[in-house]
Amino acid sequence: MRSKKHILLLLLIIYSSVIYSQNAESRILRYQSEIFTPDAADSLKHMDYLKEIDSLSMDTVHKISFKNSLFEKIPDRIIRAHNLKILSLYDGLLKRIPRDLCELDSLKYLNVSGNQLRTHRIRFKKNSSIENLILSKNNLKHLPRSIRKLKNLRYLDLSGNPMKRIPRRVKHLDSLEELTFSYIDFKFDKRSARRLKNIKRLYIVNCNLTSLPENIGELTKLEKVNFANNQVSELPESFKELKNLETLIFYKNNFDSIPVLVFHLDSLRHLDFYYNKLKQIPEEVSNLKKLEQLYLSNNQIENLPNTISNLPQLKRLYVHHNKLRLLPENMHQLSQSLEILDLGYNQMLEIPEFIFGLNKLRELDLQSNLFDQIPVRLLYLTKLEILYMQDNNFNQEELNEFAERITNQGVYVRKD
């Protein structure tokens, strides 16, 4: 057991760190309960610490963060922090959220992730300030009815709760734009989809999905969707109606080809099919005239279509860990847009000629191919910042000499 003198010293240090925060306009009260409660017998010291902050002017506190705390309800002294903007009480024993918390009319962000909350123990009053609510990793089977009183709620995270469907009360949250509903083994059916009609950004990650509902095309407000780490292999016909979609992520799914429906989404800027089973890319990829980032790595792609050169806005192309031997020579058409090109871990014998004309290229990855000719002309790419060349068939002496020259131009080079 620590001595009383030792405990008082620790309290003084924490108290001082609050008063002399580097940013006086946004003071942070931080508390790690494991420092004071190494065993259950020390719970009294935990309460002694909470009494110590009574002397602090809570009106000066804008952010409070408690991790692994022992209290089961939010202490009254926290609710007295009338200028509080951010409250995080995560990975603890919290069992209820009192109505009085909503009287903090400056509170914008509330994180109560990883506690022991149940639906009937959450009670909200009418509140217009809370915009972000993190309820992940609790024991919620449904959303509380009172959540409708959070009139300006824009982001909601329900991940890791034992829910069977998207909660019906989601559709009544008129200001809600962003929903994270991940790490839940739920049924994504037509009924669930209808509850998402106001959502603009949707994250359904690691939920064992094998398909998407046929009416998903009705979610016309969607701008970003992330279905990473699922088992989807095809898309319903209505998917092509998501005309406002700018970001589409199917990282680690089961597609053997990118569905042609995707190429009807002409607002797309970010497309991610990492870790699927793709063998080829449809020529229709050229329909995505606004596409800026294309992620095709960790597949089985043997060649890229010539039409990939007809993407005038393409800035980042990742095709590492495939089976590429050649690239279309007309990719020189990307010389005024392409900034990052990752060709690592393929089976290429020669560095494509067009690369030497990519005037805006900042990062180039050539590692783990079969190249044997030093690409001296890379010295003329004035925007280049990063170059990976290791694990090829270069002559080591020539490689060292080239690496020294291009390093002197300010380029970071990894050659071994």
Q: For 262-295, write each residue's pLDDT tens digit.
A: 999 999 999 999 999 999 999 999 999 999 999 9
* Cα–Cα distance, 412 to 16 (Å, whole number): 43
Task: Please give the residue that has the higher pLDDT: either 60 or 245.
Answer: 245
- What pLDDT is stored for residue 68 in this prediction? 84
* Cα–Cα distance, 45 to 47 (Å, whole number): 5
Residues 6+ apart with CB under 8 A from 351: 366, 371, 373, 375
- What pLDDT is stored for residue 64 in this prediction? 86
- What pLDDT is stored for residue 45 in this prediction? 44
- What pLDDT is stored for residue 1 in this prediction? 44
Q: What is the mean pLDDT of the chain?
A: 88
- What pLDDT is stored for residue 51 in this prediction? 58
Mean pLDDT, residues 65-88 taken together: 85
Mean pLDDT, residues 96-113 taken together: 92
Which CATH architecture fits 278-416?
Alpha-Beta Horseshoe (3.80)
Q: What is the DSSP letter of 308?
A: G
Task: Please give the residue that has the higher pLDDT: either 83 or 243.
Answer: 243
Place of tokens 């050649």: 326
- What pLDDT is stored for residue 9 in this prediction? 41
Q: For 179-204, write each residue's pLDDT tens digit.
A: 999 999 999 999 999 999 999 999 99
Q: Is pLDDT at 72 greater than 60 in this prediction?
A: yes
Q: How many CB atoms lie within 10 A of CB 180?
A: 20
Q: For 17-66, write each residue's pLDDT tens digit.
A: 333 333 333 333 444 332 233 333 334 444 555 555 555 677 778 888 88
- What pLDDT is stored for residue 49 in this prediction? 52
Q: What percent of the chain has pLDDT over 90?
A: 78
Distances (CA, A) of 227 to 7, 80, 264, 358: 48, 41, 19, 33
**Which range (45-59, 308-322, 384-398) has the least confidence?**
45-59
DSSP per-residue letters across 237-306: GGGGG-TT--EEE--S---SS--GGGGG-TT--EEE--SS------GGGGG-TT--EEE--SS------G
- What pLDDT is stored for residue 56 in this prediction? 61
- What pLDDT is stored for residue 22 in this prediction? 36
- What pLDDT is stored for residue 28 in this prediction? 39
